[in-house]
Chains A and B, each alone.
Chain A
Amino acid sequence: MYVVVVYDIGELRVARMLKLCRKYLNWIQNSVFEGEITEVKLKEMLSKAREIMDLDYDSIIIFKSREHKWLDKQIVGVARSQIDNFL
């Protein structure tokens, strides 16, 4: 499964959310991550995210796509980060 995760988190907690997401997905822009992830790993990530979040104030939005190739991605301006597995 290929996902794009976007979050809007209060300033106090946002750094922790950033660190959590970095473990599972590739950072592409402020508050935006994308990458290949399994159903279970996503669940694991979200349950950890809930511990960080203030559920009355913060939110996470997940866009799921069955496969990377079904996702049409267009970048206008600067691509902030490479996400391939060749470093």
Chain B
Amino acid sequence: MKKSYYLFNPGRLSRKDNTLQFTPVDEQGKEGPCRYIPVETVSDLYVFGNLDANSAMYNFLGKNGISAHFFDYYEHYTGSFFAKDYLLAGKMQVEQTRHYTLRNKRMVLAQKFVEGAAFNMLKNLRYYNNREKDLAQIISQIEGYATQISATSEVAELMGIEGNIRQTYYAAFDTIVSGFTMVNRSKRPPLNEVNVLISFGNMMCYSVCMDMIYHTQLNPTISFLHEPGTRRYSLALDLAEIFKPVLVDRTIFRVLNKKEIQPNDFMTDINGCVLKESGKKVFVKAFEERLKETIKHRTLSKSVSYKHLVKLECYKLSKHILNIEEYKPFKIWW
């Protein structure tokens, strides 16, 4: 199985002897001992530090089908380098667009995304409710909202419900996480520690979804729940809805409750809060472990990793679009 590589240290990545070479550079500009990365084992690169690279390296990445995702100082996602599309399918493109333009077809998919997301969020809450955290009220409130999903006829209306669900869900974070308070969801910039982790995690989840979509024939720009905009892979946002509770929120609860991330892993900036490199590393490591974790798949009757689940979701979506099998959103079944 190919691995993701995470680049935190500033340095230079270059093509050398048909593989990748990474030379770390410290603050004084002094080069450290270089390390070779076996190119055959790389699935993608997540670049958090400053990276020096030239086009020969990118050409090489492109040839090997490796994508690189970039993040800025505030760990916002800034963009990706993708190898040339290698799975082109006109039929899929046409059908996907048709599912977007026909309102009833679009609503079916959009509702399923919200339904899956709500189900997975409830699953998280119930888990903690059984562990002496009183969340009964929040659970019943979300269940109430979830029943309204199927009655919606407009995407805007559905997004409203989705917003309500998420707001109620985030209100439970203060009960679940000990030692930190979240108060309200704040973005751009996130104002406190829990919000920083949510933003950071969501962005990681978004990149994973995007990468998986890239390896299927789906067009990442045509989405159903989110409005397809410009310069955005909005289909990844749709998919991320379902997986955020499973991948991101569980990881956040873990790192905070097990005290793997401490208050001194954060830095309070002039306006907002950022995760220090030490914190980033811990979180990414936990997230990576989460992605690698395997579960026994019921219908496939074999072990699959969480990361592969995202890809399976893309396959299910393709099948729905091509009218082979109706799409059922991923719901945690254990």
The contact size tier of chain A is: 10 to 19
Report how far A82 CA is from B32 CA in the complex, Å: 13
Which stretch, A22-30, A54-62, A69-77, touches the partner chain B? A22-30
Most buried by A among B9, B37, B38: B38
Least distance between A83 CB and chain B CB atoms (Å): 9
Least distance between B241 CB and chain A CB atoms (Å): 27
Q: Tell me how many residues of B have a C-beta within 8 Å of chain A.
A: 25
Contacts of A85 in B (CB 8 A): 3-6, 288
Give the tally of cross-chain contacts (CB within 8 A). Answer: 53
Least distance between B7 CB and chain A CB atoms (Å): 5
Report how far A82 CA is from B3 CA in the complex, Å: 15
Contacts of A26 in B (CB 8 A): 36, 38
Within 8 Å by CB of A19, from B19, B35, B288, lies B19
Asked, given contacts A86-B8, A86-B285, A87-B6, whether A23 binds B39 with beta carbons under 8 Å apart, the answer is yes
A35 near B41: Cβ-Cβ < 8 Å = yes
Within 8 Å by CB of A87, from B17, B19, B24, B41, lies B24
B residues 18-44 near A (Cβ < 8 Å) are 18-19, 22, 24, 35-41
**A19 nearest CB neighbor, chain B only:** B17
Report how far A86 CA is from B6 CA in the complex, Å: 5
Least distance between A41 CB and chain B CB atoms (Å): 6
Interface SS of chain A: mixed
Report how far A26 CA is from B35 CA in the complex, Å: 9
Within 8 Å by CB of B40, from A23, A81, A82, A87, lies A23
Asked, given contacts A23-B40, A35-B41, A36-B41, whether A86 binds B11 with beta carbons under 8 Å apart, the answer is no
* Subset of 14 A-B contacts with CB under 8 Å: A19-B18, A23-B40, A24-B38, A24-B40, A25-B41, A26-B38, A27-B36, A35-B41, A36-B1, A81-B35, A82-B35, A85-B3, A85-B4, A86-B281
| Other A-B pairs, 14, CB within 8 Å; known A24-B38, A37-B40, A87-B5 | A19-B17, A19-B18, A19-B19, A23-B17, A23-B18, A23-B39, A25-B38, A35-B38, A35-B41, A36-B1, A82-B35, A85-B288, A86-B281, A87-B37
